[in-house]
Structure 1
Amino acid sequence: MTDRETARTVPVTSDAIAADNRSRAATAADITELTRLRSVMLSSLGQDPGGEGAPWRKQAAVWFSERLARPEEWALRVVGPPGGPLDACGAAWLIEQLPGPAAPDGRRGYIGFMCTRPGARRRGHGSSIFNSLVEWLATRGVARLELHAAPDGLDMYRRAGFNEDQYLAMYRMGSPPE
């Protein structure tokens, strides 16, 4: 997996959105399952999520609860029954950056937390969620969408008009150097 940022700088239109409506908005009843899918996602990216008692899980539940309470800024979409086992999830949120040609008002949309449990892959769940998130961002007038892609999602994102940005995303973990 590379840390290359994938960006879409073309206007989002309804033509880019499929008519697949199997996804739904997540609710508070889904928080336990959202946390479980976060663990699935971490595992698929080669990270050890730890056991059921790992400290991050409790904080993740709080995090999901806080984002669900801010639907004007955050969209969490899932496939599965409310409060039941979920097959897939994804999120979109608004970010503000310095205005420029690709985002004259500085607002951008970010899509992340795209995850489908292994036994439910290749059934269109990810596409359903992704299209719902693109539509959510489009209704907010956001022209520039960004995401980081795992190898399994590259084809879907490229078909939707995303391409690799010219800039390499860089990260640093841990304490700042002294």
Structure 2
Amino acid sequence: MIPIRAARPDDAAELVRLRRLMFHAMHGTDEPGPWEASAEEAVRRQLSEPEPVLGAFVVDGDEPGDSRLAACAVGRVEERLPAPAHPTGRFGFVFNVCTDPRYRGRGFARATTEALLDWFAARDVTRVDLHATEDAEHLYRSLGFAEHSIPLSLDLSRRRA
């Protein structure tokens, strides 16, 4: 059995390190930047809230003397207006699933993602969205994810210029 636990605020730096690894897998870049300090602060704050909207599940690394995380799955509950198919108005978004390269092939991504999906279900989330790399698409499909049409999106950071 894979030892999964809920992430704690003091895991913030490691969750951001794994996020950087995910960006490398998705976009070929993993350069550190000022976003990391903001991300660490957001993780700490959102995991410390009395009723957290951030769900994060991790597997600790098992190499001697290494305190790094082996894997994580992180998502957030978003509340929108209820609709016939989504009476609670609660949607989930998975935005960070990553396994450190030293630990790949052990089922950690599946196990942490399943824990995150259970967390969403316990909060009456009716739909969960994510973006996946081609390499990970088979994992998400095996968990029941399917194509969904999101017709348009806008990067507001470009409008501010």
RMSD: 2.4
1:90 aligns to 2:69 (yes or no): no
1:108–1:144 contact (8 Å) kept in structure 2: yes
- Return structure 1 stretches of 4+ with deviation > 6 angstroms: none
Deviations 1:84-137 (A, max 9, x none): 111111112211122222212211122221111122112100011001011111
Question: Which residue is equivalent to 1:26?
Answer: 7
Question: Which residue is equivalent to 2:128?
Answer: 145
1:35 aligns to 2:16 (yes or no): yes
Aligned residue for 1:49, secondary structure, equals coil
Question: Which residue is equivalent to 1:5?
Answer: none
1:22–1:128 contact (8 Å) kept in structure 2: no
Per the normalisation by structure 1, the TM-score is 0.77
Q: Structure 1 residues 73 and 155 mapped into 2: Cα distance closer, same or farther (>3 Å)? A: same
Distance in 1, matches of 2:31 and 2:139, equals: 30
Distance in 1, matches of 2:131 and 2:152, equals: 9
Distance in 1, matches of 2:88 and 2:127, equals: 10
Deviation at 1:37, TM superposition (A): 0.9
Between the aligned residues of both structures, percent identity stands at 31
Distance in 2, matches of 1:113 and 1:89, equals: 7
Unaligned runs of 5+ in 2: none
Question: Which residue is equivalent to 1:48?
Answer: 29
Question: Which residue is equivalent to 1:15?
Answer: none
Unaligned runs of 5+ in 1: 1-19
Aligned residue for 1:88, secondary structure, equals strand
Aligned residue for 1:164, secondary structure, equals coil
Deviation at 1:169, TM superposition (A): 5.2
**Greater helix fraction, Structure 1 or Structure 2:** 2
Question: Which residue is equivalent to 1:17?
Answer: none
1:74–1:91 contact (8 Å) kept in structure 2: yes
- Residue of 95, 100, 112 corresponding to 2:95: 112
2:54–2:75 contact (8 Å) kept in structure 1: yes
- Residue of 36, 51, 59 corresponding to 1:79: 59
1:21–1:132 contact (8 Å) kept in structure 2: no
Distance in 1, matches of 2:77 and 2:160, equals: 31
Distance in 1, matches of 2:124 and 2:79, equals: 13
Deviations 1:115-173 (A, max 9, x none): 11122112100011001011111111222222222222211111111100033453436
